[in-house]
A and B are shown apart, each in its own frame.
Chain A
Amino acid sequence: MDKKGIHSGHRDRLRKRLLETGGRGFCSHELLELLLFYVLPRVNTNELAHGLTERFGSLSSVLTADPDELTKVKGISSSTAGFLQVVYRLCTAYTSETGSVMRFSGTGEICSYLVSYFAAAAPDVCLILNLGPQLQLLNSVSFPAADLADGTVTARELAEISLKNRSRRIVAGINHAERLPVPTEEDFVLARRLAELLAPLSIPLADVIICGCGRSFSMREKGAFSFGEV
């Protein structure tokens, strides 16, 4: 296999591994290597990524480094440094919309998080929160709510999302946007589907929270749905 083939195979495997695992188990230099793929199509980026994280200390330090310092590293051009700045700006914009909550203290905080998250989101988006045993936010995945309810998102895909993130419980948030946060028939269909799919995997659906008009409605707290023990 020629050099191009070796690099191409490695890149494909790394991308697929990221999509399969959601990033779990990835070291900082591997995440950086994935980023460098976008601007260095024909270079062995593994060594470069190692070198950058060693020199600057962490992935976030690389992303916030002065571009003049970055371009002193052999193999890093001003356009590569520029791309890393773009990624950092994207990350700050993402965090601006989502906050940097890492662990929830309870239903109240989850409701506040979802209301804030959905402030800019489109109507009828469903956000699945994968939570750990101490309500740590492991991962979040968004879907059009209709795709979840009608089976467009398959049972297998849902199972993969939950199991790969080692979720101990799931909370689903549904955005009603300008409509009142009152569960509709479609919301109940979605809740039933999620609960039925997750129960055999021993991943409880802990709550379904409807958000609308800046307020929230926890179906668990209001007794609107029969949730299992969590």
Chain B
Amino acid sequence: MGRNDETRSLREQLLHTLANGSDMGGEELLTLALTYSEKCDVPQTVRQLLDTYGSLAAVCDADPHTLMRSFGVSESTAVLLRLVTIISRDIAMERRRIKRLDSPESAKRYFSSYFIGTSAEHFAAAALGQDMSIKAVRTLAVGDHTGVEASNRDIVAFALDSGTDLLIIAHCHPLGSCEPSDRDISATASLIRLLGGLGITLADHIITGAEKSLSMRERTDIFPELPEKVYGQSAK
């Protein structure tokens, strides 16, 4: 089998692992990435890079000229690694550009950026103004990879501290699907009733998964009606 065939076969194998939802470490992710940019022995190159730099982040941050000169990587690979750091920062900045959560789409984008990089399940809440502008956002609970639970007390305390009567909550499944469990739905319905009794409207519950996000308002009918001009449908 020629080098190109080996690289292609390695890529297919790793893509299959990714598609199965298996957790991939830095070495596997780097190897997969370099199958798109290198014609050399990719696993050996990745091992050399990790032996020198130790972590995926340090490899991506490595000076491109040093990579090409000392490790013989192609310009194509040097560019790809540099793109990872640039785009990672761009994604992190996305959150800072979103000022209003006035649609399920903007809420999904905001929390996708908010939870990026987490390895355990996190639960957060955003307190909103009447125009859906973000007044405050806080992580209320951190769980593990199997689940997270935020107490009603903490959620209500946050809403009252923020002086809001409009809230969006979110939690993440870093390694899994964004589909809500039955427990997610029943807990959310219960919270809607509790908050409603206090004059606080829960506008949505966003769940972010490994690859995409979901708005429970778009998926269920448990949420109170909100005028579309306040919390409009997704633009796309």
Residues of chain A having any CB pair with chain B under 8 Å: 15-16, 18-19, 22-23, 26, 28, 31, 34-35, 37-39, 55-61, 63-66, 82-83, 85-100, 102, 117, 120-123, 125, 127, 139-144, 147, 152-153, 157, 161, 175
Pick 23 A–B contacts, CB within 8 A, sort by A.
Answer: A15-B79, A18-B83, A19-B65, A19-B75, A19-B78, A38-B36, A64-B109, A65-B212, A83-B36, A89-B18, A89-B29, A89-B210, A91-B84, A91-B88, A96-B119, A120-B56, A125-B52, A125-B53, A125-B58, A140-B85, A141-B63, A147-B70, A175-B54
Taking a contact as CB atoms closer than 8 A, the residue among A58, A94, A139, A141 that contacts B62 in the complex is: A141
Inter-subunit contact B75/A102 (CB<8 Å): no
Q: Assuming A94-B56, A97-B117, what are 7 further A-B pairs, CB within 8 angstroms?
A: A19-B78, A34-B79, A91-B88, A95-B116, A127-B61, A142-B58, A144-B52
B84 partner residues in chain A, CB cutoff 8 A: 87, 90-91, 94
B9 CB, nearest partner CB in chain A, Å: 15
- Contacts A85-B18, A143-B63, A157-B65 hold; do A22 and B92 have CB atoms under 8 A apart? no
Chain B 83-96, CB-CB to A under 8 Å as 1, else 0, gives: 11111111111101
Inter-subunit contact A122/B53 (CB<8 Å): yes
B236 at the interface (CB under 8 A from A): yes
CA distance A161 to B112 in the complex (A): 31
B93 partner residues in chain A, CB cutoff 8 A: 102
For chain B, which range describes its interface: under 10, 10 to 19, 20 to 34, or 35 or more residues?
35 or more
Taking a contact as CB atoms closer than 8 A, the residue among A23, A89, A100 that contacts B82 in the complex is: A23
A19 partner residues in chain B, CB cutoff 8 A: 64-65, 75, 78-79, 82
- Contacts A15-B76, A15-B79 hold; do A147 and B66 have CB atoms under 8 A apart? yes
Taking a contact as CB atoms closer than 8 A, the residue among B91, B119, B210, B235 that contacts A91 in the complex is: B91
- Contacts A57-B109, A93-B29 hold; do A34 and B90 have CB atoms under 8 A apart? no
Inter-subunit contact B94/A91 (CB<8 Å): no
- Across the interface, name the chain A residue whose C-beta is closest to B75: A15
B118 at the interface (CB under 8 A from A): yes
Inter-subunit contact B63/A120 (CB<8 Å): no
B31 CB, nearest partner CB in chain A, Å: 11
User: Total A-B residue pairs with C-beta atoms closer than 8 Å?
Assistant: 187
CA distance A64 to B114 in the complex (A): 13
A91 partner residues in chain B, CB cutoff 8 A: 84, 87-88, 91, 116
B227 CB, nearest partner CB in chain A, Å: 23
B55 at the interface (CB under 8 A from A): yes
Taking a contact as CB atoms closer than 8 A, the residue among B51, B82, B112, B119 that contacts A64 in the complex is: B112
CA distance A55 to B78 in the complex (A): 29
- Across the interface, name the chain A residue whose C-beta is closest to B68: A19
- Contacts A82-B15, A102-B96, A142-B61 hold; do A35 and B83 have CB atoms under 8 A apart? yes
Inter-subunit contact A90/B61 (CB<8 Å): no
A23 partner residues in chain B, CB cutoff 8 A: 82-83, 86
B142 CB, nearest partner CB in chain A, Å: 14
CA distance A64 to B58 in the complex (A): 24
Taking a contact as CB atoms closer than 8 A, the residue among A39, A140, A147 that contacts B36 in the complex is: A39
B112 CB, nearest partner CB in chain A, Å: 5
B60 partner residues in chain A, CB cutoff 8 A: 90, 94
B112 partner residues in chain A, CB cutoff 8 A: 60, 64
B113 at the interface (CB under 8 A from A): yes
